[in-house]
Amino acid sequence: MSERFLENKVALVTSSSRNLGAVIAQALAAGGASVAINYFESADEAEVLVAGMRRDFGGEHVAIRADMRDSAAVRGLVEQASNTLGPVQVLVNNSGPFSMTPFVDMDEGEFRSIWDANVTAAFTTSQVAAPAMREAGWGRIINLSAGSAYLRNHSIYTLAKSAMITITEELAVELAPEVTVNCIAPGQIAESAEDIADFDPSFVERAIEATPSGRLARRREVADIAVELCNRRWDQVTGATIPVDGGWRFYRF
């Protein structure tokens, strides 16, 4: 099958001006898709990314501003992407701000912010994008969970990333057979090691020590799986969560 099997397809990747989202957007563009990337504060980075995708992969790509904590803005994001590039056929729900503030110390505003940008945003984008996918007879929704879904000391982030697995399974049932819905749960990503160190300085060292593969996953490895899930040879896979953590999640005595 052609490496550009996403020709004439439109993809939307939330929170994708930088980090993992940007790498996923680039991988989809390399596969032939026209990609709408989403940013909130990183306008310059978003425009540089779009210009680079046009230069390196051809096609039309666009950057759209939206606060993923705001349901009205999220609905507008999907609608603007569809109006600009065409109906969204590949949706990657990558938005996922982090917090490990203990529940007993967390105020309601922080709880809602993390929950809404992760879970409510995925619910809203999927609800808006799904009708066009079903009408076209084909669509892909890919949700990003995290290794934190298997922990019990990352508070609201654990709750949100666990919910991403559940919403994936529910949507897979509701949107079949036209649309497949799958989830990727990366462990700690190597390029983001410094970010988690700000919260827990020893986390990366402990994560590597506990990982059978002996290293952390890289962004490109996650992005490649996201693109592969869009391939028609994966038509029979839906409702699945794919851990990308080198076996870290397995409890060992």
Sequence-ordered list of residues with C-beta below 8 angstroms from that of 45, at least 6 positions apart, any chain? 17, 18, 22, 39
71 Cα distance to chain centroid: 17
**Distance of alpha carbon 229 from alpha carbon 214, whole angstroms:** 26
Q: What count of other Cβ atoms lies within 10 Å of the Cβ of residue 79?
A: 14
pTM of the model: 0.97
Terminal C-alpha separation, the chain: 44
Amino acid in position 16: S
- Note if 157 is an active site residue: yes
> What are the domain boundaries of the chain?
10-189+219-244
Q: Report the relative pairing of strands 139-144 and 90-93 from DSSP bridges.
A: parallel
Question: Model confidence over 138-182: pLDDT tens digits?
Answer: 999 999 999 999 999 999 999 999 999 999 999 999 999 999 999
* 1 pLDDT more than 60: no
**Percent of the chain whose pLDDT exceeds 70:** 99
What are the start-end ranges of the H helices in 86-217? 108-115, 121-136, 155-175, 193-197, 203-209
Question: Model confidence over 192-214: pLDDT tens digits?
Answer: 999 888 888 999 999 999 999 99
CATH 3.40.50.261 fits 10-189+219-244, yes or no: no
> 105 falls in which pLDDT band (50, 70, 90)?
very high
Give the mean pLDDT of 18-25.
98
Q: What is the largest CA-CA distance in the chain?
A: 54
- Among the listed residues 39, 150, 157, 251, the single catalytic one is 157
**Distance of alpha carbon 46 from alpha carbon 37, whole angstroms:** 7
> 249 falls in which pLDDT band (50, 70, 90)?
very high
